[in-house]
A and B are shown apart, each in its own frame.
Chain A
């Protein structure tokens, strides 16, 4: 049985079109390739 109140909590307000810029800036764009490069760089520095 679906709990209406609980289900309702899963819906969040949608970002408005004026907020696109903020959405882009706030996005974490670090990928695994970045992590790897950073890791390799740090390993070399330790050596």
Chain B
């Protein structure tokens, strides 16, 4: 104990040995405060929390700096669920003595567990909400809130008392008693709890009344079970039971129809709308893609047409060059008098016939005709000889080539045409052979060749027919 004036440690004397101040009364106050603290501690130890709170408050009224009393008061508040009051006592205690103070541990314990801290906050809010409901006469809602409060913070004595009061109001004595007994286990000498409990006990039926009712009840054995039928209550008829079941089913269907079904329909509609939106988006994307591809196809087609035209033009130009080159070569060989008419004829035959017919100039054609006329007799003769020899040696392909050329260069050579028909006939190309034979008949009538041709035609037709 220290002097209030100079802070010296006080002795057993009634004055301060340091400054001489009269501390008799001061010491008495301090001793009384200590006595209240001891009393508060004793009561806390036997769970008389209300009594402990009263004593500790007295102690602090006498000596506000009594750290132990303040810490214990905070602990008692916390034990009966009053977290705010507990926290404020511990903070004040810490403020008075910042070091070696157990209040530090208590505050830390709360701060280091945010989930629990949040639960305490929620319980306080719900308790206050329940009080508001009570004032608004919404007692059912208040009961629901308070049930949540006591489940979250089972030590909240005040909430249990209020819940018990609500049960008392609705004459639910058993429930009220249960809550009050739980509150009493936390704070065993709380006057409010005790008063409510007394009221509940008075209002509840006594054991004798229970026994009397039990005696009056009809008791019978059903198999292994003992059935107690309350007095004055007849056994429900079978019809009544069926009726109740039907009502239950109707109610169930009604609830499903009016509550469950709309939500399900809404859910399904929402899902299908989402799906539809998704598919539409995909469709739009695909449509854009298709449009892009179509455009690309059109562009590529146009490009292809241009390229084809260019290619055709190039090919035509190339054909003209090739034709001119071939004609020049043939002309050179003819002018140099190489005496190799068959080679010149080969060169002339290389010239593209389509070019000759469509695009060749007049000069080109004239030169071509002049060369052809010049080498004609020799080519016709030599080709005929080669072709005929080949026919005799059964080389029909060579025969066909050379006999055709022989007839081309000398259209008066009926033998060449007739043997050409024979070569085709032997080769197996009978239709072609028949055409050639008809030409022989037409161009060289009344000749041996014409007659033979007729015979061959008949043979060919007879075969085909």
* Complexed CA–CA distance, A14 and B199 (Å): 26
* Complexed CA–CA distance, A14 and B128 (Å): 6
Q: Is A31 an interface residue (CB 8 A)?
A: yes
Interface-lining segment among B61-69, B219-227, B267-275: B61-69
Q: Are B128 and A11 within 8 A (Cβ)?
A: no
Q: Are A2 and B196 within 8 A (Cβ)?
A: yes
Which chain A residues border B195 with CB–CB below 8 Å? 2
* Complexed CA–CA distance, A36 and B5 (Å): 11
* Complexed CA–CA distance, A40 and B24 (Å): 12
Q: Are A31 and B60 within 8 A (Cβ)?
A: yes
Q: Is A34 an interface residue (CB 8 A)?
A: yes
Q: Are B92 and A24 within 8 A (Cβ)?
A: yes
Q: Is A47 an interface residue (CB 8 A)?
A: no
Q: Are B64 and A17 within 8 A (Cβ)?
A: no
Give the contacting residue for B87; candidates A12, A17, A33; CB below 8 A. Answer: A17
Q: Is B432 an interface residue (CB 8 A)?
A: no
* Complexed CA–CA distance, A34 and B29 (Å): 11
Q: Are B165 and A4 within 8 A (Cβ)?
A: yes
* Complexed CA–CA distance, A14 and B83 (Å): 10
Contact-residue bracket for chain A: 20 to 34
**From residue 43 to 91 of chain B, which have CB atoms closer than 8 A to chain A?**
60-65, 82-85, 87-88, 91
Q: Is B127 an interface residue (CB 8 A)?
A: yes
| Chain A-chain B contacts (Cβ-Cβ < 8 Å), number | 88
Q: Is B124 an interface residue (CB 8 A)?
A: yes
Q: A13-B131, A14-B124, A16-B125 are in contact. Are A32 and B91 (CB under 8 A)?
A: no
Q: Is B440 an interface residue (CB 8 A)?
A: no
Q: Are B4 and A2 within 8 A (Cβ)?
A: no
Q: Is B169 an interface residue (CB 8 A)?
A: yes
Closest to B21 in A: A40
Q: Are B63 and A23 within 8 A (Cβ)?
A: no
User: Nearest chain B CB to A25's CB is how many angstroms away?
Assistant: 10
Q: Are A31 and B128 within 8 A (Cβ)?
A: no
**From residue 126 to 152 of chain B, which have CB atoms closer than 8 A to chain A?**
127-128, 131, 134-135
User: Nearest chain A CB to B95's CB is how many angstroms away?
Assistant: 8
13 extra A-B contacts, CB within 8 A, seeds A14-B158, A33-B63: A2-B195, A2-B196, A10-B192, A15-B124, A17-B87, A23-B85, A29-B64, A29-B92, A31-B60, A32-B61, A36-B26, A36-B29, A40-B21
A-B contact pairs, 12 of them (CB 8 A): A4-B169, A10-B192, A11-B165, A12-B131, A14-B124, A17-B121, A17-B124, A27-B88, A31-B62, A32-B61, A37-B4, A40-B22
